[in-house]
Chains A and B, each alone.
Chain A
Amino acid sequence: MSRVGVFVCHCGTNISATVDVAKVAEEMKNQPGVVYTEDYKFMCSSPGQGKLKEIIDEHKLDSVVIAACSPHMHEKTFRNAAEAAGLNSFKVEMANIREQCSWVHPDKAEGTVKSLDLTKKMIEKVRLNEELDKIVMPVTKKALVIGGGIAGIQAALDIAAAGTEVIIVEKDVTLGGHMIQLSETFPTLDCSQCIMTPKMVEASLNPNITIYTYAEVEALDGYVGNFRARIRRKAKSVVEEDCTGCGICQEKCPKKVDNPFEMGHGKSKAIAVPFPQAVPNVPVIDRDSCIYYKTGKCRICEKVCGPKCIDFDQQDEIVNVDIGAIVVATGYDTMPLDRFGEYGYGKYKDVIDGLTFERMASAAGFTEGEMKRPSDGKTPETVVFIQCVGSRDESKGVSYCSKICCMYSAKQTMLYKHKVHHGKAHVFYMDIRAGGKNYEEFVRRAIEEDDANYIRGRVSRVYEKGDKLIVKGADTLSGRPVTIEADMVVLATAMTARKGADKLAQTLGISYDRYNFFSESHPKLRPVETNTAGIFLAGACQAPKDVPETVAQASAAASKVLGLLSQETLKREPITAEVNEANCIACFDCLNICPYGAITSKGITDRDGNIIKEVAEVNPGVCQGCGLCNAACRSKTIELRGFKDNQIYAEINSLAV
């Protein structure tokens, strides 16, 4: 027989005005298992809490019901107080007779009847409450950042700044991501090299940051606070530690290759760094194009290398790291343009995409920042910018808005105008989306000061006539077709999720949307968390974002990581599901329905280790306690602690008429 204590709070007159608290206290005496009841002015006051402790001790209470305000208000208060008195905090329940009774039912008789019911209900429940201990998990005080673009670097720097170790895994040869490709950035027009390179260097010099470039995360197991990641460091054919970055190998290498960093325009070598400011400044041999790997001859780089750090036989290296939290910052790709035949991309050299324009405009780019169109190097006198290429296009592209194109198209018209003063830029747009600090002003500047001609409409076709590109568009404001003879056309290509993002998501066990962007845990309230505890998102891998937003989110993710890793151990409410392994028949409805992937299959083995039975297993570190599995389980073999079926039944039964 349990020993329940019931405390009915007056809350000044907040409750007592419309509920006969004395009567409630009195009647509860007759409830089975109740050994003490009392009504008291302010239960949450420190004397009130003191009394609670006192009575628990004095009457050897094994459970407590506080009939007072909403549990959302003071459940923690009373549970802590009870705990201080040596009572398990989950043996405390609250009956909400204020928010859901005294304040909403002016009739005292009704209020009292309802209070009696609500209190009785909680008595019945608390008698079945089990003593639960908070789940305590150790924490590995180290973070992993996947992706070395602006998002990843920012997150890593912030985490490192707090003295926490962090590993950056970048699949490319260098840090920098897409941002380092950009010429100048809106809305301030500062050169991204100037603001990005220092961050890259800072990251490489920070003792708390370990950088693995040319590497990828292959597998992940464990759970929040206790992950283990398997990282594959691809063979660079260069011994990173010894390389001085003198660059002689690249200079002497006889094999020219297209440079993807320059969007296929500038040339590079089979052994190279993509650009001079690369971090780390260590070249990598591209084994697909290197002459030696094809023919077995050459080895010139090896000969010329001073520190002798070329290693043709180098193998991929597998590194296993233990980390407590992860920031995913893998960025974006741009949509392949081959599907837009009507714009002639690929067919006409002078139809280029936004990133190519960035490289063209960049002082370090393939034209040293001069406006020279690819076909004949002429200066384009008329340039047409087409927005929403692939964005907001259900038939050929994606239905979402890529968000950054409006701004960078405006920026590009400015950059162009600043370089070609007599030139004319036309922009075909559908809507100008310039929501952001100084954004609208920026676009107006492009139009009013830099003379960009904005035309509201889409382009239907681009074709060559002589050395001109004929752009057939429409101005929907006047409802007339528009034809422009241009020298160059720039397509504002849709931002898409990284190729293979879905695969990475599966590796990490996070969810992703139908476009393969990673899903945040809650669209409003948990925008940087994923559904997998301990894994956070930063930047365009979650959705199209510009630099300021990305940096903000990266810092947000970092602070989430730090919050997590600042704890010695992780304590979690033990409101999690538990499986009765004896009865589980592994139909795995629970596994299928769990929003968090907290449930896995487990083999039960006999003495000799042969699997004799398969059952569901809950990972308490991951389970969030929603109880979906409990309701889904036909034989009620999996139940939610704190809300078990018999507890709910007790509540229902207590209300029987």
Chain B
Amino acid sequence: MKIPYYPGCTLNTNAKDLQECAEFSAEALGFSMVEMPDWNCCGASLPLTANSAMGYAGPTNVLIGAKEEGQKEGLEDKLVTLCAVCYNVLKRTNYAFNKDAAKLDTINSLLESDYKGDTNVVHFLEVLRDDIGFDKVKESVSKELKGLKVAPYYGCFLLRPHEEVGLDDPYAPTIFEGLLKSLGCEVVDFSHKGECCGSYSAMSNAENAAECSFSVIDAAAAAGADVIATTCPLCQYNLDSKQAMMKKNHGDMKEMPIIYFTQLLSMALGKDIGKISFKSNSINPLPLLKEKGLV
């Protein structure tokens, strides 16, 4: 199975870790992600205001590209993303089009295209759940991540707005949990799965971002997690890199590694720990993994 893959601005650069591990896992599970040629940025946030057509042009181009590429190369008729933000933007672009044909026309005339709003956007997690199946994943696990208490963190963009994104129940999601279980982790249920990490306010007001991120880590810790798994580079960055700052305001706080779900996945699927890059982790997870006897 070959699926057109849209990396977006971050995955080829600062979130390489996330991507490499995903690619490894895909191979291990018998499918591959084909990066679409000359893709452009999705805009990383859908315009909220009424008549801002431009904001849709970017994502639409991507969606069109994926469809063409898919047909040209005979790939699956979908588009897979790893980045929660891209996923959110692309999916909601389609939603907006299907709700408001006029919008679609405007964009089409803008891009001189005839897009129908029908490119099937899926997240890597969905491929694992729906195309591969968590049972199959479980079978393919060579190293069970026994005893590792993982808090699955969705953040905003996989779950909101529910009717537009609809990956999973916004308050009782199961997909992330399902995957982690199949890897043998001990899944920790915690209240802040869907709360915000502070997002891009990190750039203008680091303090604010840090506070948001802290509430998430705090909740996870309270629930007894050793580590938080994320799907989104920005969440990973905020939760991980701001812990020093958090300590200032919350002295008693204990450092917690923030790890990409694909890093766990590839570990479980037998990727040599030495080959797994933890560049983006300022809190090094290895000590913990050693302690748990996973390294």
Contacts and interface: CB of A to CB of B under 8 A. Distances in A.
Interface string B175-212: 00000000000000001100000000000000000000
Bin chain B's interface residue count.
under 10
B191 A465 contact: yes
B254 to A, nearest CB: 16
A344 B192 CA distance: 12
Contact of B222 (A341, A344, A347, A465): A465
A563 interface: no
B117 interface: no
A470 interface: yes
B171 A341 contact: yes
A342 B191 CA distance: 10
A464 B222 CA distance: 10
Given A465-B219, A465-B222, A470 B171 contact: no
Specify which of A344, A464, A470 lies most central, judged by the most chain B CB atoms within 10 Å of its CB. A464
Nearest to A395: B163
A342 B193 CA distance: 12
B169 interface: yes
Contacts of A465: 191, 219, 222
A465 B172 CA distance: 17
B interface secondary structure, majority: loop
Contacts, number: 17
A463 B191 contact: yes
A342 B219 contact: no
Specify which of A341, A344, A347 lies most central, judged by the most chain B CB atoms within 10 Å of its CB. A341
A466 interface: yes
Specify which of B169, B170, B172, B191 lies most central, judged by the most chain A CB atoms within 10 Å of its CB. B191
A interface secondary structure, majority: mixed
B33 to A, nearest CB: 32
A341 B172 contact: yes
Contacts of B170: 341
A470 B218 CA distance: 13
B169 A466 contact: no
Contacts of A470: 191
Nearest to B170: A341
B172 A466 contact: no
A344 B172 CA distance: 9
Interface string A138-161: 000000000000000000000000
Interface string A435-467: 000000000000000000000000000011110
B171 A342 contact: yes
A347 B219 contact: no
B171 A466 contact: no
Contact of A464 (B169, B172, B191): B191
Contacts of A463: 191-192, 219
Given A341-B172, A465-B191, 7 more contacts: A341-B169, A341-B170, A344-B171, A347-B172, A463-B219, A464-B191, A470-B191
Interface of B: 169-172, 191-192, 219, 222
17 contacts: A341-B169, A341-B170, A341-B171, A341-B172, A342-B171, A344-B171, A347-B171, A347-B172, A463-B191, A463-B192, A463-B219, A464-B191, A465-B191, A465-B219, A465-B222, A466-B222, A470-B191
Q: Which 6 A-B pairs have the closest CB atoms?
A: A341-B171, A463-B191, A465-B222, A341-B172, A342-B171, A464-B191
